Structure formats: C-alpha cells, structure tokens
Structure 1
C-alpha cells in the first residue's frame, strides 16, 4: 500500500467516524425529542383531566350557591310579604302591644257581657 492509499484510507475512516458521531448525536436528539413528546402528551392528558375535575367541582359549587341564593330570596319574599301584611294591619306602628292589650280587654268585656246575657 502506498502512502497516498494509506492517507486515503485514513481519511475515509475519519469520514466514517465523523459520520457515526453525527448520526449518534442525531439519534440522541431524536430519542430525547420522543421522550419529551411522550412526557408532554402525558402532562397534557393529566392537565385535561385536572381541568375537567375543576369544571365539575365548579358546577357543583355553582349549583349549591344558586340553591342557597334562591332559598334566601324566597325567605326575603316571605319576610317582605309578612311586613306588608303587618303594615296593612297596623302592627308596625308604635303601641302595637297596647292596641293588643286594649283589644283583649274589649274581648274580655264582651265575653263577660255575653255570659251575663246568656245567664238570664
């Protein structure tokens, strides 16, 4: 083998080795990319599940809150109606207990009168 052939052989071996280094680097990149892509897919699926769980929990809380507000609104409507009736009956003014005492006394007097009349 001549010196020129020896040099060409070594250059060819160096080119093969450089190509193998290049391919190993490319393979490492591809393998890393695949692993990262797999992890990203897992995280995406997990994030979707967590998001759906949060949405479901939010729907539950919203429904409970609406029920509580509806019950409170119904209570307020009843309270407003009671206040309206009390106002019409004059029970919101001062002296309501005096009026009730006065009416009770009149009823007692009427009951006594009826009792006396029926005794005759």
Structure 2
C-alpha cells in the first residue's frame, strides 16, 4: 500500500471514530435527560405523597368545624320553630309585607280621589304641551310637502302643452 492510501485509510478511521464518539455522546445526553426527568418526577411524587395525607386531614378538620357550626345553627332554627308555629310566622311575614291589611271603603274612596287628581294633572300637562308639539312638526312637514308639490306642478304645466302639439 502506498503512503497516500494509508493516510486516506487513517483519515477514514479518524472520521469514523469521531462519528462514533459523537453518536455515543448524543446517546448519553438523551440517557441523562431521561434520568433527570425520572428523578424530578420521582421527587414530585414523593412530595405529593407526603402532602396528600396532611391536606386530607386539614380538609377533614375544616369539614368537622363547619359541621359543628351548621348543627349549632340548625339547633337555633329548630328551637325558634318550637316556640313559634308556622302559622304565626306566616302571619307576621304577611303583616310586615302589608298583605294582612284588607282595604276598607274609605281607603278605596281616598285612592279614587287621588287617582282623579292625578288624571286631571296629566290631562293639563298634555294640553299644555300639545300646541308646542303640534307647531314644530307642522313646519317640518310643510317644507317636504312643498318640495314634493313643486315637481308635480311643473309636470302638470308641461302635460297640457304636449297635448296641444
């Protein structure tokens, strides 16, 4: 073999070795990434496993406190219900809302008088505003009507002239 072919063969081996080393480095980097991800996932799992029982016990404690508060409130409501019957509570509610009062003849007459007075005031206001409201639209309506009438008048003047011809 010649020196050039030996050198060429040596260069080929060097390139092959470099490619093998690069491929091995890439493989090791991927393996290292997998190992790191596994370690982080394992650490998070352990941390969650340790916190879960504590979180669960915290929730149970909070729930038991809320339950005792609810039972106290329920006890208060049932004791109120024992002292006052449902009918009494309903009648108190109706009275506070004004449903328990029945209208008398005097009440109806008084309301009718108020209604008549209000009707008169509304009529007076309507009459006072009616002339002003009627004048403003009449002016506006007259202008478009005059504009529309002008072309019709011109057409009417031209029509007899055509018939004469």
The TM tier, using the shorter chain, reads 0.5 to 0.7
Instruction: Note the C-alpha offset of 1:22.
Output: 0.4
Instruction: Note the C-alpha offset of 1:18.
Output: 0.0
TM-score (norm 1): 0.62
Gap runs ≥5 in structure 1: 89-120
1:59 counterpart (56, 59, 64): 56
1:30-41 equivalent positions in 2, closer than 5 A: 30-41=27-38
1:17 matched residue in structure 2: 14
1:48 counterpart (45, 48, 69): 45
Tell me the distance in 2 between the aligned counterparts of 1:21 and 1:64. 64
Instruction: Note the C-alpha offset of 1:78.
Output: 1.0
Tell me the distance in 2 between the aligned counterparts of 1:45 and 1:61. 24
Tell me the distance in 1 between the aligned counterparts of 2:65 and 2:11. 80
2:79 matched residue in structure 1: 82
Gap runs ≥5 in structure 2: 86-165
Q: CA RMSD in A?
A: 2.0
Structure number with greater Rg is 2
Equivalent residues, number: 86
TM-score (norm 2): 0.47
Tell me the distance in 1 between the aligned counterparts of 2:78 and 2:6. 106
Secondary structure at 1:39 match in 2: helix
1:116 matched residue in structure 2: none
